């Protein structure tokens, strides 16, 4: 069974059809990439899955559950985490604090329990810390752990954004342009991390990315979008050699 299954999704903004009768599915354990020119509808697909946008039509199933029955703040509880094309972190908090925010969905204690810092709250906090420290180690963020986000280089903030999503312990990770703005070396690191996220952590990855080197390096399957619709789908090699894709990209 597919972990994520989208059928006949459509969303319009005024006269613009951002997503047009789009169907695709993501299997558990795979890295699935969405590529396409600017304005193709890639981020909109993520916003539909995250329930930020309400589709005009279509079905959205995650692990057999109807996503359309969820509100945006319930999607994370199902085990779907995302990063944003434009980094969304708390600038005036530390790396550690930002990653602890990523643990939000696992907090069980009531506000009163938290205020009085009861033993159960202490145990819970300990578990959150451990989970976050694991992510910090995994992403080599130790040198930055107590630094304020605002003062960090872009490349590091991009990694923290990935960390915040990972800290929530997702089953499905949505990465919106994980390599945008990164140097060649930073992109290489991102590639190893995405590989390890899938192989070591067993997390399914759905990503939007422009860097075809990264896409080919980590993806099992690729979906090429144009004007909100499916242009091609297959292995990275199949999609890159597809005449319709070449035409859309090169305008030939
Ligand atoms: P991509 O991520 O592939 O670059 P987007 O999904 O951001 O593309 O956008 C797809 C289309 O939908 C574009 O034409 C864009 O202008 C439009 N669009 C996206 N979000 C909105 C919105 N909130 N309001 C109006 N139009 C939007
Ligand atoms: Mg986008």
**Which residue, 108, 139, 168, sits at the end of a domain?**
168
Report how far ligand 1's centroid is from the alpha carbon of 80 (Å): 22
Query: Which of 12, 13, 48 best tests ligand 1's pocket when mutated (most atoms within 8 Å of CB)?
Result: 13
Its ipTM equals 0.97
Please write the tens of the pLDDT for every residue from 186-226: 999 999 999 999 999 999 999 999 899 999 999 999 999 99
Domain that holds residue 133: 91-168
Q: Which ligand is nearest to the CA of 44?
A: 1
Is-above-0.90 flag for pTM? yes
The three state secondary structure string of the chain is CEEEEEEEEEEEECCEEEEEEEEEEEECCCEEEEECCCCCCHHHHHHHHCCCCCCCEEEEEECCEEHHHCCHHHHHHHCEEECCCCCCCCCCCEHHHHHHHCCHHHCCCCHHHHHHCCHHHHHHHHHHHHHHHHHHHHCCCHHHCCCEHHHCCHHHHHHHHHHHHHHCCCCEEEEECCCCCCCHHHHHHHHHHHHHHHHCCCCEEEEECCCHHHHHHHCCEEEEEECCEEEEEECHHHHHCCHHHHHHHHCC
- Tally of domains within the chain: 2
**Pair 28, 150 in one domain:** no
**Pair 50, 71 in one domain:** yes
Report how far ligand 1's centroid is from the alpha carbon of 121 (Å): 42
Residues with CB under 6 A from ligand 1: 13, 16, 18, 36, 38-44
Closest-CA residue, ligand 1 atom 13, reads 39
Please write the tens of the pLDDT for every residue from 87-132: 889 999 999 999 998 787 777 667 677 777 778 778 878 888 999 9
CATH of the domain at 7: 3.40.50.300
């Amino acid at each position: 069974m597919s972990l994520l299954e989208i059928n006949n999704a459509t969303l319009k903004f005024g006269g613009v059809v951002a997503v047009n009768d789009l169907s695709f599915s993501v299997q558990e354990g795979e890295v699935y990439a969405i590529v396409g020119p600017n304005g193709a509808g890639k981020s909109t697909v993520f916003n539909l899955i995250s329930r930020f946008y309400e589709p005009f039509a279509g079905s959205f199933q995650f692990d057999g559950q109807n996503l359309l029955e969820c509100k945006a703040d319930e999607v994370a509880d199902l085990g779907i985490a995302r990063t944003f094309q434009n980094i969304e972190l708390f600038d005036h908090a530390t790396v550690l604090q930002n990653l602890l925010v990523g643990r939000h969905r696992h907090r069980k204690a009531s506000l009163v329990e938290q205020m009085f810092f009861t033993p159960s709250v202490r145990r819970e906090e300990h578990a959150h810390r451990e989970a976050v420290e694991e992510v910090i180690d995994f992403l080599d963020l130790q040198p930055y752990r107590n630094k304020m986000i605002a003062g960090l280089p872009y490349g590091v903030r991009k990694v923290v954004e990935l960390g915040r999503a990972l800290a929530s312990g997702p089953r499905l990770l949505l990465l919106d342009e994980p390599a945008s703005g990164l140097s060649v070396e930073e992109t290489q690191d991102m590639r190893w991390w995405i590989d390890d996220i899938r192989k070591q952590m067993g997390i399914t990855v759905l990503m939007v990315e422009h860097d075809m080197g990264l896409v080919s390096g980590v993806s099992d399957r690729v979906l090429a979008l144009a004007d909100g619709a499916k242009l091609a789908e297959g292995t990275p090699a199949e999609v890159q050699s597809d005449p319709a894709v070449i035409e859309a990209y090169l305008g030939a």
